[in-house]
Amino acid sequence: MGEDGERKGVMPLFQALATAREKGLDLVAVSLQSVPPVCRLQDYGKYKYEQKKKEKEAGKAQRTGLREVRLRPKIDDHDLEFKVRVAEKLLKEGNKVKATVRFRGREITRPELGKVVLQRLTSFLGEMATADKPQMMGKLMSIVLSPGQGAKNAKAKGS
């Protein structure tokens, strides 16, 4: 392919290199797996820049991941409401949220307090999130919240 997108057709390697040299461009192999290999006449530096840009865009789409909200078993109402707002924001962005209750000292003897906190969190979020079953790992009790129908609707309205 030429520098302005027109097709040059099948040509021998030496002829393609001569054409590239004549125009002051590079012969860039786009697809080596095809028969015959597809090459393009363009500046190699510009080609690398465009490839890097495409990879960065693809990485942005992939970044939606797992975010964490940490809680305590004896959390105050206002503090819990603040954590709910943070979780809502993360869910609206399309992230999964891991809500973790950390037990310290003798609090570990009362895991039902952690379950109550996690149930309150999920009830505040309502349709915003769908929750998994709470899991106990050592001194942590956690639950994973996935964006529900309410979060998808809020994201659609915001866009």
DSSP characters over 44-86? HHHHHHHHHHHHHHHHHHH---EEEEEE-TT--HHHHHHHHHH
The share of the chain scoring above pLDDT 70, in percent, equals 87
Are residues 84 and 137 both part of a single domain? yes
- Residue 40's pLDDT band, with cuts at 50, 70 and 90, is confident
For the chain, the maximum distance between any two Cα atoms, rounded to a whole number of angstroms, is 80
For residue 106, the enclosing domain spans 66-158
Residue 1 lies in a domain: no
Q: Is 16 exposed, middle or buried (0-12, 13-18, 19+ CB in 10 A)?
A: middle
Are residues 148 and 90 both part of a single domain? yes
Residue 102 lies in a domain: yes
In whole numbers, what is the pLDDT of the chain averaged over residues? 85
pLDDT score, position 83: 93
Are residues 88 and 144 both part of a single domain? yes
Residue 67 has pLDDT above 60, yes or no: yes
Residue 144 has pLDDT above 80, yes or no: yes
Residue 5 lies in a domain: no
Are residues 88 and 154 both part of a single domain? yes
Are residues 41 and 103 both part of a single domain? no
Integer Cα distance of 64 and 59 in angstroms: 10
Q: Does 126 or 72 have the greater pLDDT score? A: 72
Answer whether 134's CB lies under 8 Å from 141's CB.
Answer: yes
Answer whether 147's CB lies under 8 Å from 110's CB.
Answer: no
Residue 6 lies in a domain: no
Number of domains in the chain: 2
Residue 46 has pLDDT above 90, yes or no: no
Rounded mean pLDDT, 80-95: 90
Residue 38 lies in a domain: yes
Rounded mean pLDDT, 95-114: 91
Are residues 53 and 92 both part of a single domain? no
